[in-house]
Amino acid sequence: MNYSSSKLFALLAILMLSFSVSAQNGKKFKVVLDPGHGGKDTGTNHKKNVEKDIVLAVALEVGKILEKQSDIEVFYTRKTDVFVPVKERSVLANNNNGNVFVSIHCNGVNTESASGTETYVMGLSKNKSNLDVAKTENSVIMMEDDYKTKYAGFDPKSPESIIGLTLIQEDYIHQSIDLASRVQDGFTNDLRRKNRGVKQGPFWVLHGAFMPSILIELGFVSNTEEGSYLSSSRGQKELASSIAQGIINYKAAYYGGSKNVVVTASDKAVAKDSSSSKSNVTVTRTSTKDTAKETSSVSTKATVSSNRGIVFKVQIAAGSSILALKPQNFKGLRGVTSIRTNGTSRYYYGETSDYETAKENLRVAKSSGHTSAFIVAFKDGVSISVEEALK
């Protein structure tokens, strides 16, 4: 459809006044759920604990919860026990213009002692443990016909080949880490699962997704107790509820909307049956500090009085490593500060109570090379959304 200049200007003005990106363009927040493995690829299996079945059940439950949110649309890479080539999973996510891509897996090793949840983002880790997990998940590629041609000679068993992956995900790394942190916090704080942290690894399934993307390892099927939990209906519902809440919290911070999960009568019945558990679908997490991306939907107020206790900063980086606050570590930017929570360090440029100054700080940060930087807001030291700060 072609618009005249006047019509286009009017449309843009309306969009600028809307509350959130999702609301401003009339589109729903799109979540792509990727249950790992499937069909001839069973994943890791120990006794009666079969990865492909566990992750499918959890993904379907996550989708069931999210689909009750009026402003969220859910897509699946598979909804049944079928084999889906790795490359097609990110293609499906891109074709559906997903806002986030969430791949769900289970761990399994040759010992019963390992346990706990961990969540990965795309990255070139040299950590042996991280590489081992990535090699295991990437190995499914060899089940595909003519995989050496399809994946340009990529060898899942070769660390050199893995580390050679192009970082298409680089533009989304900060948002991916934030989403991963919210999900991991839910596992740790709400479900009391052992926390193995947010990590980086070279996963092909995350490699080609043009959106914030994470890969969740729900736990170890090789651990007798944890494997039983992963295979149980209660465990699957609890994990799904926690994942869904993490996604909803992420969406609320970046796109606006409620953080509360819509609960139906049937959900309440499930919650009653699971009253002995530590989490159910009615839980609203508040443990994760919200960060918010600057969007064109933000109010046009220029200044926020400092006596309200509100300040704006520009988030330029995030990760598990602790970096010295030197200009050379941040493309020459001076005055960088950091906040570390739950094993993740977030790095900020500038601090001001004036929103227009914050936008100028954002311009400076991006021009210095931090192209995925965004504005965040704090009130009395607690992270809030930019929209809330500007009310």
Question: Could you tell me the pTM of the whole model?
Answer: 0.63
φ, ψ of residue 272 in degrees (nearest 5)? -65, -40
SS3 annotation, 178-189: HHHHHHHHHHHH
**Which burial class, exposed, middle or buried, applies to 26 when counting CB atoms under 10 A from its CB (0-12, 13-18, 19+)?**
exposed
Provide the angle, in degrees to the nearest 10, between the axes of the packed helices 233-255 and 51-66. Answer: 50
For residues 376-388, give the mean pLDDT. Answer: 82
| CA angle 185–96–208, rounded 5-degree value | 65
How many CA atoms does the CB half-sphere of 1 hold within 13 Å? 3
What confidence tens digit (pLDDT) does each residue in 207-265 have? 778 889 999 999 999 999 999 999 999 999 999 999 999 999 999 888 887 777 754 43
What confidence tens digit (pLDDT) does each residue in 355-373 have? 899 999 998 988 888 877 8
Other C-beta atoms within 10 Å of 4: how many?
Answer: 8
pLDDT in the model for residue 297 = 31
Share of the chain above pLDDT 90, in %: 40
User: Which one-letter amino acid corresponds to residue 212?
Assistant: P
Q: Cα–Cα distances in Å, from 390 out to 243, 351, 379?
A: 29, 16, 11
pLDDT in the model for residue 146 = 59
Find the largest Cα–Cα distance for the chain. Answer: 67
Of 89-103, 131-145, 237-251, 335-349, the poorest mean pLDDT is in 131-145
For the CA atoms of 217, 222, 228, 230, what is the dihedral angle to 10 degrees? 10
pLDDT in the model for residue 281 = 32
